[in-house]
Amino acid sequence: MSAKVLAFDVYGTLIDTHGVVTELETRLSASGKAAQAADFSRRWRDKQLEYSFRRGLMGAYVPFSQCTREALDFTDRALQTELRETDKDHLMEVYARLPAFPETAAALARLDRAGVRCVAFSNGTAAAVEGLLDQAGIRAHFEAVVSVDEVKRFKPDPAVYAHLRQRLEVDPGDTWLISSNPFDVIGARHAGLHAAWVRRSSEAPFDPWGIEPDMTVADLDALAERLG
């Protein structure tokens, strides 16, 4: 068994947060704005993260699902898409069963065979993440789910990464954060962990903060090849 523990971010790293676009197209068709579905999805995700950052700074923690719903309400107003409450409820249900990225299951299986310990590490509550991983068919690859809800903070608060280390009971040098979110990678590196950036778009820039990932990969297959 490898000494390394890989802590995988969930939303945007294992799970495709834009897997809701098809459903958005259907729901936005009533207002004749189905063509805005992709833009709606991007804005929804950006606002979801912004709300978690703002609440973290304010010390006003709420479950991540509330940030998600408030971001949905905001995006609907901003784009004037006039979604009904029933549409929003349905979209939240869809968000709870988003698909994994295509290579996720095979990459995790490869890490399993190599004896690498893996955990899921998310802004989502444990119950939400458990459900998401179960429906995506990948829960069995993780020995545990570590949620920020346990400390009532959001990434990239240093307390969140300290909590991860305490839960894992491993040395910082053996702990790797795996994330497609630069803010998460920087937060982990700042807290003394190793971090790999999953750069899913070749055009995605990394924040110029002088804190770089230990490793950059295009997808989880490439990660498994290097860390498996």
What span, in angstroms and rounded, lies between the C-alpha atoms of 163 and 150?
Answer: 8
Specify the long-range contacts of residues 186-189, CB closer than 8 Å, at least 24 apart: 186/156, 186/211, 187/155, 187/156, 187/157, 187/158, 187/160, 187/161, 188/156, 188/161, 189/213, 189/214
What span, in angstroms and rounded, lies between the C-alpha atoms of 36 and 56?
Answer: 30
Q: Where are the domains of the chain?
A: 5-16+99-227, 21-95
Using an 8 Å Cβ cutoff, are 135 and 98 in contact? no
Kindly report which listed range (13-22, 167-176, 197-206, 207-216) carries the lowest average pLDDT score.
167-176
**What pLDDT is attached to residue 172?**
76
Span between the terminal Cα atoms of the chain, in Å: 11
Using an 8 Å Cβ cutoff, are 14 and 127 in contact? no
Q: Tell me, which fold does domain 21-95 have in CATH?
A: DNA polymerase; domain 1 (1.10.150)
What span, in angstroms and rounded, lies between the C-alpha atoms of 185 and 176?
Answer: 10
Catalytic residues: 9
For domain 5-16+99-227, which CATH number applies: 2.40.240.10, 3.40.50.1000, 1.10.3720.10, 3.90.1170.40? 3.40.50.1000
Q: Please compute the mean of the pLDDT values over residues 30-58 and round it to a whole number.
A: 95
**What pLDDT is attached to residue 1?**
47
What pTM, to 2 d.p., does this model score?
A: 0.94
Q: Please compute the mean of the pLDDT values over residues 83-109 and round it to a whole number.
A: 96
**Residue 27: enclosing H or E segment and its boundaries?**
helix 21-28
